[in-house]
A and B are shown apart, each in its own frame.
Chain A
Amino acid sequence: MNGQDALAERLAGALRSRPDLLVLGEDVLDGGVFGLSRVAAADEDLRPRLCPTPLVPGTMAGHAAGLGLAGRSALIVAPSASAVLDGMADLLAAADPAAWAAMDAPAPFKLLVPVGPGLGTAEDADRPVEALLAAVPGLALLAAGRPETLLPAFDALLDAPGPTALLVPRRVLLAPQPGSVAALDPSGLDRLTEGRRGTIFAFADAVAPALEAGAGLDVTVAELWRLDPLPADAIGEAARTGHVVIAHPGPDSLVAHRIAAVCAGEAVWHLDGPVRIVGGARPPLGPAAEHLSVPDAEAIYAALVSAGAVPPQQEKDRP
């Protein structure tokens, strides 16, 4: 069973246990673009809560927020990065607390965004959307970084009280699911390894190469599953090793720059070197070049060296 299968099962289970939950998206009655609603679509009791939407979902967030106003909880399955781009104006209006100043609070809605090269058919399909979503005021942003945390991250999305988006990298979606799932640290940051010489902050599908880069080194590898708002205290604590590298998918990252700013604000007296940020290649990237969308382990290791996290002797000995 891969992540897609597991998520389809989990979504059907969530629809059964949450009578207020609805799923919006292209062709959701036929399983949806990624087949995420196919288990639910096979259940006659759940089909009424699968709501197909127009193919160009410019106003899906507003539609979901309207459902939220009426006491429902709507999960949007975005078909591609280009669909998110199409709906940005509506997303800004639906999530912005200032736009809801006269109401009690923004109406809640959930957005599931599969990301990575090869998704969608438009030119922008492989454009990283993390920076755009992180810039939407009022929208909480989560990311599933590993197969082990895909389902817990999905649960966190459904449990979130306000407008929230979850980034699911295509590779995490397609990877085999492990026998057991990992629990997410409520802070939003999980320390996957512990070390004293340096810290790698990584998120989404940059987590796997970060773990590979840190293998055998005395460094902490920290996965951020909550990207906005960032867990500032946990980041500051983890940055106290003094040498920091931030690994992110895509060529540029608003979240990575925010993490660097948090390190400067929370741990500047502990830093012994420059904060290094390392990302992937610039689009367009076809499916065959998917691996280039995230920095490889060598690039992250080079950043660790540059940040001063690898002692010279150990650097020389690395195979």
Chain B
Amino acid sequence: MDTTFWEPEGAERLLRPDGSPADGDTDLGDLPLDRLYRALVAARTLDLKIARLGLPARAPWAGEEAVAAAVALATRPDDWVFPGPRDGAIAFLRGLDAEAVAHQLRSADPAAGLPARDAFADPEGHTGPLPRGLGHHLALATGTARAQALEDTEHVTVATFGEGTTTTGAFHEALSLAAAAELPLVFVCKSLVWPEGAPAEAGTVGDPVYERVRALGVRTVRTDGACAAATLRHLADAVRRARDGKGPALVEVVVTPAIFDPPAERDPIERLRRHLDRIGKWNRTFQDVAEAEVATRLERAFRAYEEATP
């Protein structure tokens, strides 16, 4: 069960598909697996809630939650995060309250609220708006990272995006700028390249993203998005490195959206659940509580919004 058609090549992982450690001496002791699991479940619950709303022009993120959860756990409140179009859960996981999520998602009146695609921004929580154009948020990220570098603080900026964004000039300009000025900026590229892959014109031609970017002198790593533990460890390493003034990094995360109907072990929640189950930290009650906690918050917030809105 070690290597299957569904396991991406060259991607770092800490857990095998059955949830066992990737090798005998894998040490997961430094990772907050319990919090990570709850974050994954929260992101999935939010995705399901939004799916039921039937909002237009929304990209679901079921199956890709490892990135949002890892970003939320690896960053500090004063760090800036600029999520990509399929990473709306980041703002929620970083503290945007359920009431604000409900308001942002349901406000249809342009005079009073926001169109759905502008949801999940949190200026106070230092989470930027979802990009309207491919890669536009990367320029903003270079700006906040430049300010952080000038202030000589330990703050960092993280930006997430899909591999299609690597075809844009904005991506290359942001990367060049970050490398030239040694900005504390971590690029997180979600690649949907496995198992079928996107067409070449969508950014998958040639070497994988992490190898192409490495040629610029930027530190890169490729992790398996089905293994949330590995995604968190490598992202946290990149963030720590940027925080220490060692410059930008790119973490390529190979994700498998649930809409591809992959086997269960490609689901980051299921793989981590198997691991927690193996080490005796998961049971049905734990699962129910994790789900209910978030579902109840969201349900209350959406109901309150409905009742308050004529």
- Nearest CB of A to B94, in Å: 14
Is B118 close to A, CB under 8 A? yes
Chain A residues with CB below 8 A from B147, complex form: 66-67, 70-72
Q: A53-B177, A59-B174, A90-B170 are in contact. Are A101 and B146 (CB under 8 A)?
A: no
Question: Is there contact, CB below 8 Å, between B139 and A66?
Answer: yes
Which chain A residues have a beta carbon within 8 Å of chain B's beta carbons? Answer: 22, 48-49, 51, 53-54, 56, 58-72, 74, 89-90, 93-94, 96, 98-104, 107
- Residue in B119, B133, B137 whose CB lies within 8 Å of A102: B119
Contacts A54-B176, A59-B174 given; does A103 touch B123 at CB 8 Å:
yes
Known: A53-B177, A59-B174. A65 touches B121 (CB 8 A): no
The answer to whether A59 touches B123, judged by C-beta atoms less than 8 angstroms apart, is no
**Of A49, A65, A66, which is in contact with the most chain B CB atoms at under 10 Å from its CB?**
A66
Q: Which residues of A contact B131 (CB under 8 A)?
A: 93
Interface residues of B in 107-146 (CB under 8 A from A): 114-115, 118-121, 123, 128-129, 131-133, 136-146
Q: Tally the A-B contacts, defined by beta carbons under 8 Å.
A: 111
Assess whether B169 is interfacial by the CB under 8 Å rule. yes
CA gap between A53 and B129 in the complex, in Å: 24
Closest Cβ–Cβ distance, residue B149 to chain A (whole Å): 10
Say whether B115 contacts A101, CB under 8 Å: yes
B143 close to A74 (CB less than 8 A):
yes
Cβ-defined contact, B142 with A101, below 8 A: no
Report whether B121 and A63 are in contact in the complex, using a CB–CB cutoff of 8 Å.
no
With A51-B181, A89-B133, A102-B114 known as contacts, the answer to whether A67 contacts B139 (CB < 8 A) is no
With a cutoff of 8 Å between Cβ atoms, the chain B residues found around residue A67 in the complex are 143-144, 146-147
CB pair A70–B143 under 8 Å, yes or no, is yes
Q: In the complex, A66→B80 CA distance in Å?
A: 10
**Cβ of B231 < 8 Å from any Cβ of A?**
no
B237 located at the interface, meaning its Cβ lies under 8 Å from any Cβ of chain A in the complex: no
A98 neighbours in B (Cβ, 8 Å): 118
A-B contact sample (7 more), CB < 8 A, given A54-B177, A58-B170: A22-B146, A62-B136, A62-B139, A69-B143, A89-B136, A96-B132, A107-B143
Residues of chain A within 8 A (CB-CB) of B177 are 53-54, 63
When C-beta atoms are compared, the residue in chain A nearest to B140 turns out to be A66
CB distance from A25 to the nearest CB of B (A): 13
Interface residues of B (CB under 8 A from A): 80, 104, 114-115, 118-121, 123, 128-129, 131-133, 136-148, 150, 169-170, 173-174, 176-177, 181
A-B contact pairs, 17 of them (CB 8 A): A22-B150, A53-B177, A58-B170, A62-B137, A63-B142, A63-B146, A65-B139, A69-B80, A69-B143, A70-B80, A72-B146, A89-B136, A98-B118, A102-B114, A102-B119, A102-B120, A104-B123
Say how far B14's CB is from chain A's closest CB, in angstroms.
33
CA distance A5 to B83 in the complex (A): 43
Q: Are A59 and B104 in contact (CB under 8 A)?
A: no
Tell me whether A66 and B115 are in contact in the complex, defined as CB-CB below 8 angstroms, given that A48-B150, A59-B170, A90-B170 are known contacts.
no
Q: Is the CB of B129 within 8 A of A103?
A: yes
Taking the nearest CB of chain B, how far is it from the CB of A244, in angstroms?
Answer: 35
Asked if residues B129 and A61 are in contact (CB atoms below 8 Å), the reply is no
Give Cα A62 to B140, complex, Å: 5
Task: Assess the A54–B119 pair: CB atoms within 8 A.
Answer: no
Give the CA-CA distance A256 to B144 in the complex, in Å: 37
Shortest C-beta distance, A292 to chain B (Å), equals 34
B143-A64 in contact (CB<8A): yes
Interface centre among B148, B174, B181 (most CB of A within 10 A): B174
**Once the chains are docked, how many angstroms separate the CA of A56 from the CA of B174?**
12
- Closest B residue to A64 by beta carbon equals B143
Nearest-neighbor residue (CB-CB) of B130 within chain A: A102
In whole angstroms, what is the CA distance A61 to B139 when docked?
A: 8
Are A93 and B136 closer than 8 Å at their CB atoms? yes
A45 to B136, CA, bound (A): 32
The 3 closest A-B CB pairs, nearest first, are: A66-B143, A62-B139, A102-B121
Contact A99 to B129, CB < 8 A, known contacts A71-B147, A93-B136, A104-B123: yes
* Set B121, B141, B150: member contacting A66, Cβ < 8 A: B141
Bound: A167/B218 CA distance, A: 37
From known contacts A51-B146, A54-B176, infer whether A101 and B140 are also in contact, taking CB-CB under 8 Å: no
Does A63 lie within 8 Å of B143, measured CB to CB?
yes
In the complex, which residues of chain A have a beta carbon less than 8 angstroms from the beta carbon of B146?
22, 51, 63, 66-67, 72
Measured between alpha carbons, how far is A220 from B123 in the docked complex, in Å?
Answer: 47
Interchain CB contact under 8 A, B123 and A70? no
Residue of B nearest to A86 (CB): B169
**Smallest Cβ distance from B77 to chain A, in angstroms?**
14
Most A CB within 10 A of own CB, among B128, B139, B142, B174: B139
Cβ-neighbour of B173 out of A59, A69, A74, A99 (below 8 A): A59
State how many angstroms separate the Cβ of A287 from the closest Cβ of chain B. Answer: 30
Q: A99-B132, A101-B114 are in contact. Are A66 and B144 (CB under 8 A)?
A: yes
Indicate if the CB atoms of A59 and B120 lie closer than 8 Å: no
Given A48-B150, A53-B177, A67-B147, A90 contacting B136 (CB threshold 8 A): yes
